Structure 1
Amino acid sequence: MNLFVTNISRTVSEEALKALFSEFGQVSSVKIISDKHTGESKGFGFVDMANDSQAFHAIERLMNAEFFGKRLMVSKARPKTSSY
């Protein structure tokens, strides 16, 4: 299941985010979105977890959890829609 994570501190690395979510199960991938011009984190990203029940548990436990001084917002990612 792909999770959408917002309010990520700009100092958080993908490795740190992966370690946090790995406490709840197998993490397939992590991607923190960065500005294409500056390379700076935009403060949101995606975590892909292999097991849906573990992903739901991570959502439940990490929603509003403090991480690097900010309260995370975690939800199931919505499918990308076309913009035409």
Structure 2
Amino acid sequence: MCIGVPGQVLAVGEDIHQLAQVEVCGIRREVNIALICEGYPAELVGQWVLVHVGFAMSIIDEEEARITLDALRRMEYDVTSA
């Protein structure tokens, strides 16, 4: 099973070939944005993206990001409390 985790883009390079800084659950990660960047990379700063194995797979809205993060946190709690 594959899972994507929401993250917020904090910083980008000058072009899509440079990795972006994305915060995922409080941790900064370097993420490839080439699959989602259709304009200038700077337009992605502040956007929420779905991250899978170091790649931003899609842009999502903040509400969807929060709902997904809450669901992931509940899964962690359910697994660890069993």
Q: Give TM-score scaled by structure 1 length.
A: 0.26
The structure whose RCO (Cα within 8 Å, separation 6+) is larger is 1
Q: Give TM-score scaled by structure 2 length.
A: 0.26
Pick the structure with more helix per residue. 2
Question: Looking at CA atoms only, which structure, 1 or 2, has the larger radius of gyration?
Answer: 2
